Amino acid sequence: MVKKIRVLVAKPGLDGHDRGAKIVARALRDAGMEVVYTGLHQTAEQIVNTAIQEDVDVVGLSLLSGAHMTLFIDVALLLKEKQMDDVLVVGGGIIPQEDIPGLKKAGISEVFGPGTPVEDIVSYIKKNVKR
């Protein structure tokens, strides 16, 4: 039997916009993945701890408040620190084009903006999951 891809959908920081995170969580589940959704208001430590405990293959971060350059990067760095380099990290939200190179450099593999079909996220994860 093929192991199911395990994904943590996480909402870092104070942002309350959870429409996208919930849609993506549901779409990934419908695509046959095992999804854990953190709920709102998570610190980087909480997200990384959950990722370790749940032994996930993918962390999907969602943020629409504009604090992605701090909060996404916090999570990516902490994952590295905990030797979780083989976890695929992706992000989505209201993210200007010019911020994307910086996020990628920090370890966010891909960034999905408004208007992304959920199918694109599903296939990206399937293609790029590292473990």
Query: Considering the complex, what minimum distance in angstroms separates the CB of residue 36 from other proteins?
Result: 10
Q: What is the DSSP letter of 32?
A: T
When the beta carbons of 88 and 112 are compared against other proteins, the nearer one is: 112
Window contacting other proteins (CB under 8 A); options: 46-54, 70-78, 84-92, 101-109: 70-78
Measure the CA angle with vertex 25, ends 127 and 11; round to 5°: 105
- CB neighbourhood size of 1 (10 A): 3
Among 1, 2, 3, 115, binds other proteins (CB under 8 A): 115
CB of 40 to other proteins, least distance (A): 6
Pairing, β 6-10 against β 34-37: parallel
